Structure 1
Amino acid sequence: MVSLAGSQSPSGSTTRIRSHGRSMRTIRSHFYEDANYSPPPPPARSASVSEVLTDSVVDFHLRELSAASGTAASKSASIDAATDLLELSRDFSDFSSFSSDISGELQKLALTPSRAIESRPPYDFDADDTDAVDSVSVGAVEPAVRSSVETLRSGSDAEKRAAAARIRLLAKHRSDFRSLIGGSGAIEALVPLLRSTDPAAQENAVTALLNLSLEESNKDPVTAAGAIKPLVYALRTGTATAKQNAACALLSLSMIEDNRTTIGVLGAIPPLISLLINGSARGKKDALTTLYKLCSARQNKGRAVSAGAVGPLVGLVGERRSGMAEKAMVVLGSLAEVEEGRAAIMEEGGITALVEAIEEGPARGREFAVMALLQLCADSPHCRGLLVREGAIPPLVALSQSGSARAKHKAETLLGYLREQRQDGALSGMAR
């Protein structure tokens, strides 16, 4: 890797770019600096760039995976909305939809003391046996649910832990079970356990609420029960599985638009970034998806930047084998819609990483990298200048000639921006 050198932006801040003449990309770009070269003309531009992710389905329909994430300003290009959005949702779908317990293997009450297990009310099926659960009527489950809710309200600590585990199991598989449990008072009884000092009890409560929140009709009751703040607490303090499932539960609740800002205000973004840095592969993916959803609220973009999200995201762009590079690029594109996000991406070497993704990454990665750079450059002549100096023109020209139709369109649009940048620079040089 070529070392980075500091370059002063017009505002005086330091931006990390490559030393001139040190990368083959930069050297090749000099051939394109000739006055006779003109990048392909940009296509017709609309007033805004709209980024929306449509429905994504893995194990169940997770509605409104992402809402419109705002507009980029007067010089932004159309990003072929309908096609782009469908493709984006498909690319997120390998981790952004979640089923109950997807973030951690169900432990089948392995940590539950034998006394608590013995106190379990009898019912004639194994709640973790999918075939058995599928054949059980709601009426057969109702006594177990009532008993578990009573135990959550008045039982011993060990009994509450076991009761939360039973609710977690029962809510795992079926929509009608989740509806039944949601109306039983279990939600309100589970919320206090989110702050339990017993890690197993906290984990069971987190995962039970995640499973219940998958039912659309339970999202409002979980929110009304005051679950968001203690879920954030569990995200900070819980076991690895509790943290991952808390992230997923917050993602599920963020399907309610009004909750996104609330979740950000209550402090979810810093622990999500911590999970993104320190979590397992599953935890990182959960954190990344939840961050994207929260950052569809403009106020949360600034919170994410201030909490240090950009550095880890830029790092993920360069991890070709992680399976998360393209997703990180999408989140970077979202953060690039605000001025502080653009500044942080430049400061953290994001332009270098994104250009390298265009030059060296897989076909899908190149497309996402161009989309992120479009968000960066739409309203920032400074970003465009850095992009030219980074040697982006040759790989963009190559992509405009050999990429998919959508990749070609985006590359041509970005090349059009760079051509405008060079023309503006030439005019400035002529001024006296």
Structure 2
Amino acid sequence: MVKEEILMEEEEEEGKGNLEEEEEEEEEQMQTKNRKCKNVIEEIAEKLKSAVEEVDKIEAAKEIRKLVRKSSFSGKTRSRFAAAGVIPPLVDMLQPCSYSLLAREAALLALLNLASRNERNKIRIVASGAIPPLVELLKFQNGNLKELAAAAILTLSAAAANKPTIAASGVGPLLVQILSSGTVQGRVDSVTSLHNLSTSKEDPKLVLDARAVYPLMNLLKDCKKYSKFAEKTTALLEILSNSEEGRDAITNADGGILTLVETVEDGSLVSTEHAVGALLSLCQSSRDKYRELILKEGAIPGLLRLTAEGTPLAQERARTLLDLLRDSPPENRFSSSTLERIVYDFAAQVDGTDKAADTAKRLLQDMVHRSMELSMSRLQLRASSCTPSKVQSS
């Protein structure tokens, strides 16, 4: 028995030794692969920097893109290429007077891959002067290069440090043009870029063109109101509602106010907050001008629900807007009035005092019913997102 135990211990020790050897071998292979990758990066970087002929620069740019995409160390590869000094010569290849469209496209694709998921590289690319040539590319009729430039602006604008430089470049109107005439991907990229730039906390800030209202409203009509895309679109529309030109454009857009009302009813917590903010901005600017327009689109049920279910800011905005929409200007804040009384006031205005009680009851029932439907939908969404492993571990 003792002999068997000794043999088992020897086998265990031998197994441990073999495992350690395998781990050491794997580590050595990894280091070898790492060194090879580093050497290849340095060779490609040197090729790009020393190349005289455009064809050689294009080939080097393509190799950079390919290696970043294929490398199992893509994060390290991006940083190593930047450390090897490839960003300035790639940015130089974007210059319109010095290089062909083919060279500019190759450089742009390489830069996009270097910037992806790498904040420092995004900042390096902008600091190297990439924005002016990218703005020039946005003016092109060449669809592919224009779309690539829009994608680059989107990627670079995600870095907070880049936002003031990009906002000051005059890129806003060009992105608005893509909103109206670009491909689906181009329009999505433009909305996200404009949203990124509008959230800058430093000057200069992006000035939104009121001409953006029409394409934004069309995009909001066609997308799911609770989507992330709707959240960005309504955020931009809320900003635009703060100017007279923007408010006029929202009012004149086909179904503009109705689309905001529908977003209040069906949107996510974020998109409802922005949508009610835009409606409130309209009504606060001129109650006489916008009150009837908002009431006509059936805003009351959604606003009433929002006072109970929205974010704290959305609740406050909904209460303030409900006060402004009442028949007579309020002397006190919404909090001093009961929900039932406000509903009754609207019902009396719509159907007269004889039918006000029945109408108010129906409005309240509709609000409760809609609230229950939305709560059930959220519960179902949460349930469907839970995997069996998550359920077991909770």
Is this a same-fold pair by TM over 0.5? Answer: yes
Equivalent residues of 1:171, 1:211 under 8 A apart = yes
Give the residue type in structure 2 aligned to 1:284. Answer: R
Does the C-alpha gap of structure 1 residues 233 and 145 become closer, same or farther in structure 2, counting only changes over 3 Å?
A: farther
Give the structure 1 partner of residue 114 of structure 2: 212
In the alignment, the residues of structure 2 paired with residue 394 and residue 280 of structure 1 have an alpha-carbon distance, to the nearest angstrom, of 31
Give the structure 2 partner of residue 192 of structure 1: 92
In the alignment, the residues of structure 2 paired with residue 422 and residue 317 of structure 1 have an alpha-carbon distance, to the nearest angstrom, of 28
2:233 corresponds to 1:336: no
Does the C-alpha gap of structure 1 residues 382 and 217 become closer, same or farther in structure 2, counting only changes over 3 Å?
A: closer
Structure 2 counterpart SS, 1:171? helix
Report the alpha carbon displacement of residue 186 of structure 1 after superposing the two structures with TM.
0.5
In the alignment, the residues of structure 1 paired with residue 305 and residue 329 of structure 2 have an alpha-carbon distance, to the nearest angstrom, of 29
Structure 2 counterpart SS, 1:137? helix
Q: Tell me which of 94, 115, 135 is aligned to 1:232.
A: 135
Mean Cα deviation higher: 180-189 or 262-271: 262-271
Give the structure 2 partner of residue 327 of structure 1: 232
Give the structure 2 partner of residue 159 of structure 1: 56
Q: 1:160-190 CA deviation, whole Å, 9 max, x = no partner? A: 2221111122233511000000011100110
Give the structure 2 partner of residue 139 of structure 1: 35
Mean Cα deviation higher: 366-375 or 228-237: 366-375
Report the alpha carbon displacement of residue 297 of structure 1 after superposing the two structures with TM.
3.8
- The count of residues paired between Structure 1 and Structure 2 equals 290
In the alignment, the residues of structure 2 paired with residue 358 and residue 266 of structure 1 have an alpha-carbon distance, to the nearest angstrom, of 34
Q: Percent identical across equivalent pairs?
A: 29
Report the alpha carbon displacement of residue 290 of structure 1 after superposing the two structures with TM.
0.5
Give the residue type in structure 1 aligned to 2:239. Answer: S
Structure 1 counterpart SS, 2:239? helix
Give the residue type in structure 1 aligned to 2:54. Answer: D
2:281 corresponds to 1:281: no
Does the C-alpha gap of structure 1 residues 302 and 142 become closer, same or farther in structure 2, counting only changes over 3 Å?
A: closer
Equivalent residues of 2:114, 2:121 under 8 A apart = yes
Give the residue type in structure 1 aligned to 2:110. Answer: A
Q: Which has the larger radius of gyration?
A: 2
Structure 1 counterpart SS, 2:78? helix
**Greater RCO (CA < 8 Å, at least 6 residues apart):** 1
Equivalent residues of 2:134, 2:149 under 8 A apart = yes
Report the alpha carbon displacement of residue 245 of structure 1 after superposing the two structures with TM.
3.6
Equivalent residues of 1:397, 1:411 under 8 A apart = no
In the alignment, the residues of structure 2 paired with residue 341 and residue 301 of structure 1 have an alpha-carbon distance, to the nearest angstrom, of 17
Equivalent residues of 1:305, 1:344 under 8 A apart = no
Give the structure 2 partner of residue 175 of structure 1: 75
In the alignment, the residues of structure 2 paired with residue 292 and residue 183 of structure 1 have an alpha-carbon distance, to the nearest angstrom, of 31
Give the residue type in structure 1 aligned to 2:75. Answer: S
Give the residue type in structure 2 aligned to 1:330. Answer: A
Q: 1:39-75 CA deviation, whole Å, 9 max, x = no partner? A: xxxxxxxxxxxxxxxxxxxxxxxxxxxxxxxxxxxxx
Equivalent residues of 1:329, 1:372 under 8 A apart = yes
In the alignment, the residues of structure 2 paired with residue 146 and residue 408 of structure 1 have an alpha-carbon distance, to the nearest angstrom, of 54
Does the C-alpha gap of structure 1 residues 238 and 356 become closer, same or farther in structure 2, counting only changes over 3 Å?
A: same
Give the residue type in structure 1 aligned to 2:77. Answer: F
Give the residue type in structure 1 aligned to 2:87. Answer: I
Give the residue type in structure 1 aligned to 2:275. Answer: A
Give the structure 2 partner of residue 353 of structure 1: 259
Report the alpha carbon displacement of residue 407 of structure 1 after superposing the two structures with TM.
7.4
Give the residue type in structure 2 aligned to 1:218. Answer: N
Does the C-alpha gap of structure 1 residues 413 and 192 become closer, same or farther in structure 2, counting only changes over 3 Å?
A: closer
In the alignment, the residues of structure 2 paired with residue 258 and residue 376 of structure 1 have an alpha-carbon distance, to the nearest angstrom, of 32
Equivalent residues of 2:257, 2:294 under 8 A apart = no
The structure where helix makes up a greater share of residues is 2
Report the alpha carbon displacement of residue 285 of structure 1 after superposing the two structures with TM.
1.1
Structure 2 counterpart SS, 1:303? coil
Mean Cα deviation higher: 377-386 or 198-207: 377-386
Give the structure 2 partner of residue 414 of structure 1: 318
Give the structure 2 partner of residue 368 of structure 1: 271
Does the C-alpha gap of structure 1 residues 175 and 384 become closer, same or farther in structure 2, counting only changes over 3 Å?
A: farther
Report the alpha carbon displacement of residue 380 of structure 1 after superposing the two structures with TM.
4.9
In the alignment, the residues of structure 1 paired with residue 304 and residue 330 of structure 2 have an alpha-carbon distance, to the nearest angstrom, of 27
Does the C-alpha gap of structure 1 residues 385 and 339 become closer, same or farther in structure 2, counting only changes over 3 Å?
A: same
Q: 1:251-273 CA deviation, whole Å, 9 max, x = no partner? A: 33334434322212212112212
In the alignment, the residues of structure 2 paired with residue 334 and residue 135 of structure 1 have an alpha-carbon distance, to the nearest angstrom, of 52
Does the C-alpha gap of structure 1 residues 353 and 208 become closer, same or farther in structure 2, counting only changes over 3 Å?
A: same
| Structure 1, gaps ≥5 residues long | 1-133, 428-432
Q: TM-score, normalising length from structure 1?
A: 0.57
